[in-house]
Each structure stands twice: as C-alpha cells, then as structure tokens.
Amino acid sequence: MKELIDIVSHFNTQGTIHEIKPLGSGLINDTYKVTTTEPNTPEYVLQRINHAIFQDVEMLQSNIAAVTKQIRKKLEEQGEEDIDRKVLHFITAENGKTYWFDGDNYWRMMTFIPRAKTYETVNPEYSYYAGKAFGDFQAKLADIPETLGETIPDFHNMEFRLKQLRDAVKANAAGRLGEVSYYIDEIEARAEEMCKAERLYREGKLPKRVCHCDTKVNNMMFDEDGKVLCVIDLDTVMPSFIFSDYGDFLRTGANTGDEDDKDLSRVEFNMEIFKAFTKGYLEGATFLTPIEIENLPYAAALFPYMQCVRFLADYINGDTYYKIKYPEHNLVRTKAQFKLLQSVEAHNEEMKSFINSCLHG
Ligand code: GN1
Ligand code: MG
C-alpha cells in the first residue's frame, strides 16, 4: 500500500488517504478504490493501465478526454442534474496530464462515483435501461468533433482475431493444441459467416461509428433505483460497428451462467434479457440504418464467437493476455462462450421476429 500511496501523491487529490483496496473484476487493468479520511472529500479510483495492451497511453487518455468532454457537454445541454455521477471525471497529475508514469507503470485516477453499483447479472427491467443507455451513449458520441484513435488496432475485427487464432495454432507455443481440436473445427466452420461485418464494410454498406467496445454488463453503473448512471471503462471507445456494443452486452447480460462457467448446463441465452435490451437499444439508437438493424441477430452471435476465438487463442499461446485464476481458465472460458454461441444460434428465428415486431408494432 505504501507504493500505491506514493503513486496517489502525484495526483491533485483532496483529503488524506485512509485506505487503498482492490476494486472490481476487470481482466485487463488493475483497479483500486482510494478512500479518504475526511467526510466531505471525494473518494477515488486508482488504475494501473495495462501498458502491454494499451501501448499508446497518450492516445488512450486523449480519446477518453474527448469522450468525457462530449458526454458532459450533451448532459449540460439536456439540463441534466447530477452530472458528476453521469460521466467520469479524471484527476490531473503534477505533470499536468491525466496519467502518471512511475518509471515502470502508467497510472491514472478518477473520482469514485458515490452510491452507484455494478452488477454481474441483470434482470429484464435493468437490461431495458441498459439498452437505452448504450444506444444513447452512441447517439451522444455521433457528432464528437475529435477523431478518435484505435487504442487497440483491429480490436473487434473478426478477420484479424481469426488470424491471431490461426497464428497461435501454427506456433502451438504452449503445446496445448491436442486438447482443443474440436473447438478449432467448430470455429472454422463458422469463420466465413462471422466475418460478414468486415465484408459489408468493404462493400461500403456498413458504417463505423464511435462505440464503447467493451459493453460488458459490469461496465455500467446503476443508481439506487436501477437506472443507468453512466458507462465506465472507456479505454476501448473507438470507431467500430455498432454490433460491438449491442453484441457484447448480450454476451454478458443475457448469459444465464458465468462467462467462465464450468457447468455448461447453466449457460444459455436468455431471451427475456435479449428482448428487453433490444427494445431499449432500438429506442436509444435512433440513428441505425436498416442493414445495422437487420444484422442485430448476427451481432448477438458474433460476440460469443469472437470471445471464444480470443480466449482460445490466449489458451493456445500459454495465457499471455487475460488474467487467469487457474491454468485451464482460458479453456473453461472458451467452452462457456461456445456453449453460449450455440444457444444464441438456436434462437436466431425468434430474435429476428422479435426485432421485426419492435419495428412494425
Ligand atoms: C476484457 O477489461 P475488461 O475485463 O472489462 C477485454 C474485453 C473482453 C473481456 C472479456 C481491452 O474486458 O475485450 O471482452 O475482457 N478488454 C480488452 O471478459 O481486451
Ligand atoms: Mg471492466
């Protein structure tokens, strides 16, 4: 904790530090909650940025600055109250930037949003609010004046993710290939269909828009009444297909089991959550084109598929990307995402007819 206190001392915070404790369940950055002794000073969040993954920290933080500035402006224009709980606020360090480099690691701090909660699972009512909130998030960013950089190049590019998997298979760095051939075959059987977004983009039929790109259900803060306060974890906000935000929420929010469930019988795609989220999303994302809407069921399948590919590639590579809790963790995650994908596929027709009913009443 002494080292963490030292890091915090480089930021312009108020009050005396009382405690610094780990916070949240992210798989990439390390996150801590910083509490202060005085009752009227804010609490903070301290994060060690995963610099191996986010290599251009300057770009990362300037994207986030542009995004939070734009959201704040829109909230002000709408006459919103409680703005400080509805958009993240980053703390300046003594170097005048919103991050601090200690010689080894990059750190940043933001104000902790009081009386807010995150969830690992949500009910249909909360999903409806979440759908509206992510639609609204994309709508607010539609006319952002800055051009955002790709903080992780090709982040949600399915062709690129498949290439990474194929490279991992070729190298077989951890000698794990023997146990995963079933999953490789299942992935390859769907590869062409799953790269549809990239094809539509090349043909000029599908736009890229500013998206969040990590709309896991636990990246959203809710207030005491279950209303969405704000979206957090802005590292991956960048131009992408809207499928990213729609699909990744459903991947996490509509899974009846856990992302890394060992009991595959618990993993199913929950259509009640799907319906509530989709209804909210279509209400919030008023700018969607017919081709985007028509491909929402594809997006619901794409994200469990992409995550399956990413977890499997990491497993084959010997666990170099995601934090793991035990040696088979990435394989367990792969299997759970594949089971979820199969369940999404089984609901394809039902998804389509629900979306049609939303559009035509
Ligand atoms: C990572 O940071 P976190 O845990 O919210 C990952 C996402 C994955 C997710 C899988 C930068 O998100 O893309 O979907 O894990 N973020 C990055 O749980 O790779
Ligand atoms: Mg997160």
Q: 139 and 103, same structural domain?
A: no
Is the CB of 259 inside a 6 Å radius of any atom of ligand 1?
A: yes
Assigned token pair, 44: 């903070």
Please report the atom of ligand 1 found closest to the CA of residue 321: 19
The pLDDT of residue 81 is 92
Q: 342 and 210, same structural domain?
A: yes
Is the CB of 27 inside a 6 Å radius of any atom of ligand 1?
A: yes
Tell me which residues of the chain have a pLDDT lower than 50: none
The pLDDT of residue 360 is 85
Where does a domain end: 88, 111, 134?
A: 111
The pLDDT of residue 221 is 93
Is the CB of 215 inside a 6 Å radius of any atom of ligand 1?
A: no
Q: 162 and 27, same structural domain?
A: no
Domain encompassing residue 19: 2-111
Q: 8-13: list long-range contacts, CB under 8 Å, 24+ apart.
A: 8/34, 8/44, 8/46, 8/109, 10/93, 10/94, 10/95, 10/100, 10/102, 10/107, 11/91, 11/92, 11/93, 11/94, 11/100, 11/109, 12/91, 12/92, 12/93, 12/94, 13/42, 13/44, 13/91, 13/109
The pLDDT of residue 290 is 96
How far apart (Å, rounded) are the C-alpha atoms in residues 71 and 58? 20
**How many domains, the chain?**
2
Assigned token pair, 130: 């979440």
Question: For the CA atoms of 225, 226, 228, 234, what is the dihedral angle to 10 degrees?
Answer: 120
Assigned token pair, 203: 């043909």
Q: 221 and 316, same structural domain?
A: yes
The pLDDT of residue 226 is 82
Measure 18 CA to ligand 1 centroid, in angstroms. 30
Is the CB of 324 inside a 6 Å radius of any atom of ligand 1?
A: no
Q: 136 and 51, same structural domain?
A: no
Residue bearing the CA closest to ligand 1, atom 5: 26
Assigned token pair, 179: 């146990």
User: What is the C-alpha radius of gyration for the chain, rounded to an integer number of angstroms?
Assistant: 20
Q: 130 and 48, same structural domain?
A: no
- Is residue 116 one of the residues assigned to a domain? no
Closest ligand to C-alpha of residue 232 is: 2
Distances (CA, A) of 60 to 32, 66, 180: 19, 10, 35
Q: 193 and 67, same structural domain?
A: no
Q: 165 and 292, same structural domain?
A: yes
How far apart (Å, rounded) are the C-alpha atoms in residues 194 and 302? 6
The pLDDT of residue 24 is 86
**For the chain, what percentages of helix, strand and coil (3-state, to nearest 5) are there?**
50, 15, 35
The pLDDT of residue 361 is 73
Sequence letter at residue 122: V
CB atoms < 10 A from the CB of 189, how many?
Answer: 9
**Residue positions counted in the chain:** 361
Which of 23, 25, 28 best tests ligand 1's pocket when mutated (most atoms within 8 Å of CB)? 28
Is the CB of 26 inside a 6 Å radius of any atom of ligand 1?
A: yes
The pLDDT of residue 243 is 97
The pLDDT of residue 238 is 94
Assigned token pair, 305: 């598929």
Distances (CA, A) of 234 to 4, 74, 183, 213: 23, 17, 31, 9
DSSP 255: B
Residue bearing the CA closest to ligand 1, atom 15: 27
Measure 175 CA to ligand 2 centroid, in angstroms. 30
CB atoms < 10 A from the CB of 81, how many?
Answer: 8
Residue range 51-88, pLDDT digits in tens: 999 999 999 999 999 999 999 999 999 999 999 999 99
Answer whether 309's CB lies under 8 Å from 161's CB: yes
Name residues with Cβ closer than 5 Å to ligand 2, which is an ion. Answer: 26, 219, 233
Q: 152 and 29, same structural domain?
A: no
Find how far residue 41's CA is from the centre of its chain. 30
The pLDDT of residue 277 is 97
Q: Choose among 6, 21, 1, 37: nearest CA to 107.
A: 6
- Is residue 185 one of the residues assigned to a domain? yes
- Is residue 117 one of the residues assigned to a domain? no
Is the CB of 292 inside a 6 Å radius of any atom of ligand 1?
A: no
Q: Choose among 287, 286, 300: nearest CA to 352.
A: 300
DSSP tally for the chain: helices H, then strands E: 12, 9
Which stretches of the chain are DSSP H helices? 2-8, 57-77, 124-141, 158-171, 181-194, 196-202, 243-253, 271-284, 290-294, 296-317, 329-346, 348-360
